[in-house]
Structure 1
């Protein structure tokens, strides 16, 4: 059975090739981790989960919501009490990305999520680990380039750990495939999800959690989902606070006093950048830090209500290929409630050779990166 180890305080599976016989204390530690990840049988009951139907007047049906910082920020002290539990009501969808040209030659013979990280791990272990530690055990990984090594890693690293989920949990790769209805390969993030909607909609869940497969961070997705439900959102977008220097390299969002996203701008500069300033105290930052970080950038991580996802990809925007530039702004334009959720912790995009090199070196430093 694959052992569990840590990058910072992330719990990820060790590669089977490096697992060895350890002392009694290490065995006890391993059992504790597996126990923490396991679900009780009551959480895996076959009760049906019902969601609200999406209607054209969803916006007019809602009463105004005042959002507290505790409801929308990834605070260490926040408590989660999801009902129904994430294990029963959330499906994880990890986007494997494209050909990974910016990471070449590391992606010459492997998919981008299968690129090694910290010697014994792969990039895909980060979002999968975050899911498992957030009680989300139904996980699909979408990819279309060099998926053999990714398949091999996931089957070896996670299959034995899924016994703790009463065989209802899974981590499964879905490679792009041609069919009479979809003769083309994935054209973007939204198109990749659209092509497998027939499979995703079979799952009796309330929300889809859409994740990137090449980011390094630790996040409690249960808090993220709780904020989505408490604000009665159609879509919730994870957002990073930004200073002015970094903000020009990201897609920025503007919010109103309730944390609702009202505007998007891709890598703005000059006056356009200044126009995207927001009061980040609305999302939980203190006054001093809010002055330093007056912008918020999309992390490319979304909670989308199931019926909303089906409606957007099939009916409202059947030709849209990308979530960040087409589907999410489009949902805002037709009056859907799109909320921002602040994540103010360690985060790195491992999309280039330079970022890959720096992230691996960072893991070796003392103290280790602050995975909050």
Structure 2
């Protein structure tokens, strides 16, 4: 018999359940024979979904203690920085917060850091945002329903939007200021046992076990630990760089240096555990914008030492180092991508289709990526040619269509004779029958119309694209916003069809 709320049982224990005034009572019966006690082996966090009616609860349970003895669910608070207006991702952020931008057919950007937290045992998670947060709030409340945690350690995933208080009447002025303004709330978590704040970004694509990160932070006795990514010279100019001593302690920072200043930031990255060959190819250490901060230290830094500074990367972290705080670097060897620009977002999504081993995959059973359950039917493909592509749930692809190297979002409707190549279609928020559109004069059906060719584009949600259109950027334009009123722009060489727009029959872009 399966125990309510548990996914694994320690050896030698049986599980019984009985109804008691409408509640489930879980009783662990002792084994019949005495045996030597053995510490339970930690397991990867697992999510079980309970979806009565239209709600979904994600409940996390683990077998035994967290890895390394770190009680993540009790002592670590996750703080996801949702970012500002998301101007580099505009127009994808025209009607939504940056973490709410769709990703990989079925997901949203916010699902990445939230899932990493859940898989790492962090079950108390706040997301700080201030621009267009309605869709983000709706997604988080539907996906996680403020019920993340184990049987004895209930957690939550909540949005904290910028708001006026008796002491602060300004919007968030930066990443550090956002945390500072809600420090009164985080203090409550500290009174309940939280020791460290795990500060994350909402627009990165990666998979990371934060337990190792926090364990290294505590083992080093650090006040702040920065996730570090070794990189080559051609990449280094785009990041904040760090120099470290033999113990991995950060001794110098430089924000996006170039020329001689860049050369001066070279270090021996074998200190972080890289082999000699890789260290020679990647002699720079870049900050990933992911931090573990001792709660008491961060409170002092934000409220006393740097009460007027607003950014973690350029103000608080370097300032803490200069004041003598122990600021440590922690090596991350996996795939990580900052998808804050339209070009990076476009390329990261298309890279998901790479075969057989993409840099990032949603098909990892040991560290799944969670999202909202939508109860959609399977996708239906009727005589189409689909190659190196991902189709989300509930799509309809009509005959004689070719889809190549593309990501097709949920509820996408692609009419017959279309060609979709090197593109991302985000799909739709709802279904629409043909009759519904025909009832209105000059109505374009939802989806992509018959005979349309789309190449090198991002088509945002609920777009209505007419018949025999060509969205291919044939002139190779890199930037153009003059057509925004017509429903599309070009950024970083990528055509972006704006959410909820209409593209008439025969349009050529």
Say whether the 8 Å CA contact 2:201–2:290 is kept in structure 1. Answer: yes
Q: What SS does the corresponding residue of 1:108 show, helix, strand or coil?
A: coil
Say whether the 8 Å CA contact 1:94–1:212 is kept in structure 2. Answer: yes
Q: What SS does the corresponding residue of 1:182 show, helix, strand or coil?
A: coil
Q: What SS does the corresponding residue of 1:171 show, helix, strand or coil?
A: strand
Bigger proportion of residues as helix: 1
Alignment match, 1:169 = 155
Q: 1:146 aligns with which of 132, 149, 152?
A: 132
Q: 1:266 aligns with which of 255, 258, 261?
A: 255
Task: State the Cα deviation string for residues 304-359 of structure 1 (Å, max 9, x = none).
Answer: 00100111111111111000000000000011100000111111111011111111
- The whole-number CA distance in structure 1 between the counterparts of 2:147 and 2:61 is 9
Q: 2:201 aligns with which of 199, 202, 212?
A: 212
Q: 1:290 aligns with which of 279, 282, 291?
A: 279
Q: 2:291 aligns with which of 292, 302, 310?
A: 302
Q: 2:68 aligns with which of 76, 81, 90?
A: 81
Whether 1:115 aligns to 2:101 is yes
Aligned-residue offset at 1:80: 3.4
Aligned-residue offset at 1:369: 2.4
| Structure 2 CA distance for partners of 1:149 and 1:331, relative to 1, 3 Å | same
Normalising by structure 2, we get a TM-score of 0.58
- The whole-number CA distance in structure 2 between the counterparts of 1:114 and 1:93 is 16
- The whole-number CA distance in structure 2 between the counterparts of 1:300 and 1:234 is 16
Task: Give 1:17-28 correspondences, 5 Å limit.
Answer: none
- The whole-number CA distance in structure 1 between the counterparts of 2:204 and 2:267 is 25
Alignment match, 2:85 = 99
Task: Identify which range, 160-169 or 87-96, moves more after superposition.
Answer: 160-169
| Structure 2 CA distance for partners of 1:330 and 1:340, relative to 1, 3 Å | same
Q: What SS does the corresponding residue of 2:291 show, helix, strand or coil?
A: strand
| Structure 2 CA distance for partners of 1:277 and 1:308, relative to 1, 3 Å | same
Aligned-residue offset at 1:294: 0.3
| Structure 2 CA distance for partners of 1:121 and 1:11, relative to 1, 3 Å | farther
Aligned-residue offset at 1:38: 1.5
- The whole-number CA distance in structure 2 between the counterparts of 1:122 and 1:12 is 18
Aligned-residue offset at 1:82: 2.8
- The whole-number CA distance in structure 1 between the counterparts of 2:48 and 2:272 is 33
Bigger proportion of residues as strand: 2
Q: What SS does the corresponding residue of 1:162 show, helix, strand or coil?
A: coil
- The whole-number CA distance in structure 1 between the counterparts of 2:291 and 2:146 is 29
Q: What SS does the corresponding residue of 2:148 show, helix, strand or coil?
A: helix
Say whether the 8 Å CA contact 2:147–2:154 is kept in structure 1. Answer: no
Say whether the 8 Å CA contact 2:47–2:61 is kept in structure 1. Answer: no
Task: State the Cα deviation string for residues 111-149 of structure 1 (Å, max 9, x = none).
Answer: 000000011100000000000000000000000001110
Say whether the 8 Å CA contact 1:252–1:266 is kept in structure 2. Answer: yes
| Structure 2 CA distance for partners of 1:98 and 1:368, relative to 1, 3 Å | farther
- The whole-number CA distance in structure 2 between the counterparts of 1:292 and 1:135 is 34
Whether 1:132 aligns to 2:118 is yes
Structure 1 stretches lacking a partner, 5+ long? 1-9, 20-33, 44-78
Q: What SS does the corresponding residue of 2:330 show, helix, strand or coil?
A: strand
| Structure 2 CA distance for partners of 1:11 and 1:99, relative to 1, 3 Å | farther
Aligned-residue offset at 1:160: 7.7
Q: What SS does the corresponding residue of 1:254 show, helix, strand or coil?
A: strand
Whether 1:329 aligns to 2:318 is yes
Q: What SS does the corresponding residue of 1:351 show, helix, strand or coil?
A: coil
Task: Give 1:239-250 correspondences, 5 Å limit.
Answer: 239-250=228-239
Q: What SS does the corresponding residue of 1:81 show, helix, strand or coil?
A: helix
Structure 2 stretches lacking a partner, 5+ long? 1-44, 362-509
Question: Which one has the largest radius of gyration?
Answer: 2
| Structure 2 CA distance for partners of 1:216 and 1:11, relative to 1, 3 Å | farther
Q: What SS does the corresponding residue of 1:237 show, helix, strand or coil?
A: strand
Q: Which has the higher contact order (CA 8 A, sep 6+)?
A: 1
Alignment match, 1:38 = 61
- Paired residues, number: 310
Alignment match, 2:10 = none
Alignment match, 2:412 = none
| Structure 2 CA distance for partners of 1:346 and 1:328, relative to 1, 3 Å | same
- The whole-number CA distance in structure 2 between the counterparts of 1:244 and 1:338 is 24
Normalising by structure 1, we get a TM-score of 0.79
Aligned-residue offset at 1:180: 2.5
Alignment match, 1:238 = 227
